[in-house]
Chains A and B, each alone.
Chain A
Amino acid sequence: MGPMASPSFEVGRPTDLDHTLSRLLEKSIRRSTALDLESLCIVTAQRVWSLRADLHFLSHDGNLIDTACIATITALAHFRLPVITVSGEDITIHPVTERVPVPLSLLHWPICVTFSFLGEDDDGEMVCVVDATAQEEALREGDMTVTVNKNGEVCQISKSGGVPVEAETLMKCARMAAEKVKGIDKLIAAALRDDEVVRNKGNLDWLKEGKSENER
């Protein structure tokens, strides 16, 4: 997070938001076993792939967490790993031109939805907003992040501090998150599909050969 995204970010000094963000993403994606880590193993107990996701925020207008999560999931789903063959002690990494690289085995797509609580209205009902802008975030009295996948499994919830909220409101938010995630999931899938079409234009035989069912 640099000053490019927002003047409030300083260079080289991690803020609380930094910690929250990296912890939330780690909890959402790693702890929910979205990525099958065993598939990244090359030689048992000796060699493994190491994956690293770098996030750069270009502009901050609120809801960094959700955006970061969607970006990470899309990147992981889009990523292709070079094929390797192991024979005895030797490990060969085949270049992309030789063998078609394979996608990572993502078991499900956990997606974060953040709710901002803006305080109670005249009837004593909590006003909650999804996908808040920077201005709304500056005004909010509390927030909660729910991570759900499209199958309706909640992978992570975190609400630390902020205004106290009725359990019923929180449940309503969680259910709403589950609905929202279905839409976001479709958007990601559509974007990936479009990309695949563009990449493989006029070269579909090549694509077929790359199917994982084929004998290698």
Chain B
Amino acid sequence: MEGLRNDGRRWNELRRIHCQLSTSSTNADGSSYIEQGFTKVLCNVTGPAEPSSRQKVKQDSATVTCEVYFAAFSGTDRIKRGRNDKKVQELQTAIQKTFSSVILTHLFSRSEITISIHILSQDGGTLAACINAATLALIDAGIPLKDYVCACTAGQSTSIFDNEGSSPDPWLDVNYLEESDIPSLTVATVGDSEKIVALSMENKVRIERLEAMIAVGISGCAKVRGIMDSEVRRHGKEKLEAQGE
């Protein structure tokens, strides 16, 4: 089949996104579960609560902490990632910094908001799934945000070696196979403003190709936002109806 990717999608199609709110009701203030293709992420949010250590006390705003746990069985190889693993720490700081700028932290001085993320299965776009899951969990916890933070990945199938000759050929929402093969980036936007709050790319790509990738990524974020918004509305409605009875 021409023009189809290895999992049968077209270049601008997202994988199936399934999301759920209030997945663990007892031990967290807010929780969510998201599946993007075969990437599966569970997120719990606790807070605003008293900070766990005095270092984290800020007089004028809340501290956002993020903990990421990789399940040993989440990837293709069984790897146990400890707390000091560089990849874990990088994810943690990326998510923590992203949400510190979006949560209205000035409303909760001297308190801590903890986002803990469990990655159950990885199939490309781990960072994007983590950000989306954290947004949903924060909404479930009732923590005021500026707007939704939605993240999506985009890839670039043409090699870096040919220059102006071929036109850019961006792919939306890459899976693991594509991610390990072609350059890809993760982009996170705030609400429907098309403004980028987080952007990360780790592969080599020609600068001329970058614009198309970012543009496709942003359009993906808008779609993800629609899906997440409808789930939040559905969940809210369900909760209200349950209360009414």
Contact = CB atoms under 8 A, between A and B. Distances in A.
Contacts of A193: none
A144 to B, nearest CB: 7
Given A157-B200, A158-B200, A165 B101 contact: no
A76 interface: no
B76 interface: no
B190 interface: yes
Contacts of B101: 142, 161-164
Given A19-B93, A26-B86, A154 B196 contact: no
B207 A178 contact: yes
A19 B195 contact: no
A152 B207 contact: yes
Contact of B199 (A16, A144, A155): A144
B99 to A, nearest CB: 7
Interface string A179-196: 000000000000000000
B90 interface: yes
A129 to B, nearest CB: 18
Interface string A1-28: 0000000000000001001101100110
Contact of B195 (A152, A164, A175): A164
Given A19-B89, A166-B196, A167-B194, A154 B204 contact: yes
B49 to A, nearest CB: 22
Contact of A171 (B89, B98, B210): B210
Contact of B97 (A26, A154, A160): A160
Interface string B192-230: 011111111111111110110011001000000000000
A164 to B, nearest CB: 4
5 contacts: A33-B204, A157-B201, A159-B197, A161-B99, A164-B189
Interface of B: 86, 89-90, 93-94, 96-101, 160, 185, 189-190, 193-208, 210-211, 214-215, 218
